[in-house]
């Protein structure tokens, strides 16, 4: 059953996730004798490593060679030509968060190049792009896997696909989909004790590296909205875009125009009283406040924002920066199937990419 | 990429899970045009339906026709001959809990017949059988999937495989692996309130259909020990058998020889005081008692029995008859990857079987 032909691997992106992925790829290539995995292309936004005869780039020193490389990355249409002409099957690993690369997926897939990626952009962009991606894949037989686009290495996408593919019906999906938001609310409104001031928790999260360089990129809720868009579509709702449903931003209107993240953080304490009110109102009901996303399939309602939960609810009891995702389905009834754990970080995001790659290899090789 | 040949499906077992599976298979065959799924064999322990030309058995009335059939099941070696001679690829679905069928997996796999099953017996029998199964599969290229052997449709086995296959290292696995035990302890020792008497909870669980006909078959811990054996082996420990590590039985020694389950239930109240003591001792520490299984990979320790947990621990906070499985790994650090939900029931067990079948079809067809 095993083929003696290699499978060519092309990698775009060598940042945090990309570096972790390369080290996992190296170990995988060493363990997996058949098919032989041959890295034929690797690029950052500035540099690239490849040659016309698809020579194998040694994975162990690919990063070092890449930083010394003099070639620039191929433009996406040329890259598609290059990979489509390879003398064996190709899997393209997109470890960027680039909208441009995402937009080219239909071209790659249409030419038989499989794609594995943690990049949310393609699957949470326009519904048209979503349709183009899956129709290109279905026509050519190329595979497209994106487990790490929601919850990093947690088995979220694969579980939802299994639920749908086996004929169950999702009724509701609910959860905490952002490690940053999880950390912020677990410390700001803990189930026991009183928690810190909102602005102080945001500053602390930034210091610990839990936020984007500008924390507003987490607080605007768009990252969560993108993840909800992906899950809603997989559950059968033709959601048009991550801005086509209500998303509550935690950036005070007055601070939207701050010139920098630091400027924003400096002024955030002015709004602590308002967040304190929100917390107190929940406490009055014996509840805590959390930043959640939810999809109600029957009513086709998708929303992102603050909700109140009993202290005993699994969403309230979350720890650290963990994600939690609850799938309510007809088969599982009122007790949902729950998946919980770290939903961000280089190693676990790369793990989702590597496990997708293994699934693709099992099918194409 | 899609083949025009059918894939033949052979099904052994038409009990609770088998019936649910057939209805899921019918829906799958209707949705999935390529490959065409062709049911060529179905049997119970008494009857069978098949013919020498592998004619397609209409899935919708397979059960009805089976109950009216006059053929007896083929002996396992003959069934292997029959299926190996089929004019296309074959997947055997073992929906029994038979040790005999399990023992024949290496023969089927060795002849290129893929296997999908919720049957724990093959994977929790002798370590020799485990090795024979996977070496037969790896030699012939046939696939063997058994998601539903632990936690029914919950993505437990697939997640553990992804963790291991991507090069992460499991340090500990811990959880509640029995819906019966979950229900019993969630009601006997709830995190709030005082709970019922032990014998009354066991009687209630039996009435609700949550136990085996003889509740001792749950209370002896063997079912949990079998699941732990499977997970430990997947995590890399060569566990010899489910009786090769400590398993705490909740059957009082004096009641092991009761002639029937009813007899056992009648005498169980004599031992309520002892269980009450166990509960009180935990409460004194502010904890609750739960029946858990755990695997410590570094120390190669596998054990099943009563443990105490803080009320805020996810294992203590479990509801109804849910299972919970926590994977501690090097990548996930001190916050485990957790999977939780119903771990028993015909529909969700069949769901694990159907999703495995889809994975096999994606690879062989």
Taking the CB of residue A280, how many other CB atoms lie within 10 A of it? 11
Residues A98-154 have pLDDT tens digits of 999 999 999 999 999 999 999 999 999 999 999 999 999 999 999 999 999 999 999
Mean pLDDT for chain A?
96
The tokens for B89 are 């690829």
Q: Is the dihedral of CA B212, B216, B217, B221 positive or negative?
A: positive
Q: Show which of residues 135-164 on chain A sit within 8 Å of chain B, judged by CB atoms.
A: 140-141, 153-155, 158-159, 162-163
Q: What was the pLDDT predicted at A365?
A: 87
pLDDT (tens digit, 9 = 90+) per residue, B153-201?
A: 999 999 999 999 999 999 999 999 999 999 999 999 999 888 999 999 9
Q: Which tens digits make up the pLDDT trace of A6-15? A: 999 999 999 9
What mean pLDDT do residues A25-33 have? 93
- Chain A contact for B322, CB < 8 A? yes
Interface membership of B273 toward A (CB under 8 Å): no
- Chain B contact for A209 (CB, 8 A cutoff): no
What is the average pLDDT value for chain B, to the nearest integer? 96
pLDDT > 90? residue A238: yes
**What is the 8-class DSSP label of residue B247?**
B
Check CB contact under 8 Å for B166 and A140: no
Q: What span, in angstroms and rounded, lies between the C-alpha atoms of A339 and A326?
A: 7
Best probe of the B interface among A162, A329, A349, by most B CBs < 10 A, is A162
Conformation bin of residue A171: beta by default, left when phi > 0, alpha when psi is -120 to 50: alpha
Contact list in B for residue A28 (CB cut-off 8 A) is: 166-167
| B227-to-A359, B148, B239 alpha-carbon distances in Å | 25, 10, 12
Q: Which residue's structure tokens are 């194998």? A: A56
**What band does B4 get if pLDDT is binned at 50, 70 and 90?**
confident
Element (H, E) at A323: strand A322-329
- The string of pLDDT tens digits covering residues B121-140 is 999 999 999 999 999 999 99
Which of the residues B206, B227, B279, B287 is marked catalytic? Answer: B227
Average pLDDT over residues B18-37: 94
Burial (0-12, 13-18, 19+ Cβ within 10 Å), B267: middle
CB–CB contact B341 A332 (8 Å)? yes
Question: What is the CB neighbour count within 10 angstroms for residue B217?
Answer: 14
- Residue A60 predicted with pLDDT over 50: yes
Q: CB A351 to CB B322 under 8 A?
A: no
Q: Is B360 annotated as a binding-site member?
A: no
pLDDT at A34: 82
Mean pLDDT across the stretch A155-173?
Answer: 98
- The residues, any chain, with a CB within 8 Å of residue B79's CB and separated by 6 or more, are B10, B41, B73
Angle between the B346-364 and A157-165 helix axes, to the nearest 10 degrees?
100
Contact list, A31 vs chain B (CB under 8 Å)? 167
Residue A17 assigned to a binding site: yes
Mean pLDDT score, A247-270: 96
Within 8 A of A355 by CB-CB distance, chain B residues are 162, 165-166
Closest CA to A156 of A89, A232, A207: A232
pLDDT at site B3: 53
Q: Please determine, for residue B209, whether its predicted confidence score (pLDDT) is greater than 60.
A: yes
Cβ neighbours, 10 Å, residue A302: 24
Chain B residues close to A186, C-beta within 8 Å: none
Interface A-B, measured as beta-carbon pairs within 8 A, has a size of 123
Q: In this model, does residue A1 exceed pLDDT 50? A: no
Give, in order, the Cα–Cα distances in Å from A360 to each of A89, A365, B236, B343: 11, 8, 24, 28
Distance of CA A20 to the CA centre of its chain: 15
**Residue B300 structure tokens:** 């190669």
Q: What is the pLDDT of residue B245?
A: 98
Reported as a single tens digit per residue, the pLDDT across A181-205 is: 999 999 999 998 889 999 999 999 9
A307-316: which pairs have CB atoms within 8 A and are 24 or more residues apart? A308/A282, A310/A286, A311/A191, A311/A192, A311/A286, A311/A287, A312/B191, A312/B317, A314/A338, A314/A340, A314/B314, A314/B317, A314/B340, A315/A174, A315/A175, A315/A176, A315/A290, A316/A191, A316/A287, A316/A288, A316/A290
Q: Quote the pLDDT of residue B2.
A: 47
| The 3-state secondary structure of A37-81, one letter per residue | EEEEEEECCCCEECCCCCCCCCCCCHHHHHHCCCECCCCHHHHHH
- A3 pLDDT exceeds 60? no
pLDDT at B81 over 60: yes
Alpha helices in chain B (DSSP H): 16-31, 62-67, 76-84, 99-103, 105-110, 127-140, 157-165, 179-188, 198-207, 216-219, 222-234, 261-267, 272-284, 346-364
Contact B163 A351 (CB under 8 A): yes
* pTM, two decimal places: 0.96
- State the average pLDDT over residues B8-26: 97
Q: Which residues of A touch B336 (CB under 8 A)?
A: 341
Residues above pLDDT 70, as percent of chain B: 99
A120 has binding-site annotation: yes
Sign of CA dihedral A315, A319, A323, A326: negative
- pLDDT at residue number A28: 97
- HEC profile of B197-208: CHHHHHHHHHHC
Q: How confident is the model at residue B32 (pLDDT cuts 50, 70, 90)?
A: confident
B227 is annotated as an active-site residue: yes
Burial of A128 (0-12, 13-18, 19+ CB in 10 A): exposed
pLDDT for A82: 98
- Tokens found for residue B56: 């397609």
- In this structure, the number of other CB atoms found within 10 A of the CB of residue B312 comes to 14
CB-side neighbour CA atoms (13 Å) of B107: 14
């Amino acid at each position: 059953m095993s083929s003696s032909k290699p499978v060519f691997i092309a990698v775009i992106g060598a940042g945090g996730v990309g570096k972790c992925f390369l080290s996992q790829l190296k170990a995988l290539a060493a363990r997996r004798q058949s098919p032989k995995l041959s890295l034929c292309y690797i690029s950052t936004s500035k540099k690239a490593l490849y040659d016309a005869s698809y020579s194998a780039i040694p994975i162990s020193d690919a990063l070092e060679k890449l930083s010394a490389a003099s070639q620039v990355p191929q433009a996406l249409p040329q890259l598609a030509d290059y990979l489509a002409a390879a003398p064996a099957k190709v899997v393209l690993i997109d470890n960027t968060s680039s909208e441009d690369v995402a937009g080219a997926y239909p071209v790659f897939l249409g030419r038989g190049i499989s794609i594995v990626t943690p990049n949310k952009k393609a699957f949470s962009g326009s519904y048209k792009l979503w349709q183009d991606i899956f129709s290109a894949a279905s026509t050519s037989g190329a595979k497209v896997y994106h487990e790490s686009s929601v919850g990093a290495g947690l088995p979220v996408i694969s579980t939802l696909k299994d639920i749908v593919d086996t004929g169950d019906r999702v009724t509701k999906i609910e959860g905490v989909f952002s490690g940053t938001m999880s950390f912020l609310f677990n410390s700001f409104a803990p189930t026991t004790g009183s928690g810190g001031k909102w602005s102080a928790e945001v500053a602390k999260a930034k210091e610990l590296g839990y936020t984007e360089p500008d924390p507003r990129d987490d607080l605007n809720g768009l990252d969560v909205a993108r993840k909800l868009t992906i899950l809603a579509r997989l559950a059968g709702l033709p959601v048009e875009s991550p801005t086509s449903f209500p998303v509550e931003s935690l950036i005070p209107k007055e601070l939207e125009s701050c010139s920098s993240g630091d400027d924003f953080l400096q002024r955030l304490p002015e709004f602590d009283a308002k967040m304190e009110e929100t917390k107190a109102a929940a406490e009055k009901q014996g509840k805590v406040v959390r930043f959640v996303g939810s999809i109600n399939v029957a009513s086709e309602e998708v929303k992102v924002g603050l909700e109140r939960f009993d202290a005993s609810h699994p969403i309230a009891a979350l720890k650290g920066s963990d994600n939690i995702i609850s799938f309510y389905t007809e088969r599982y009834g009122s007790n949902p199937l729950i998946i919980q754990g770290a939903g961000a970080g280089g190693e676990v995001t790369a793990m989702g990419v590597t496990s997708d790659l293994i699934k693709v290899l099992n099918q194409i090789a």
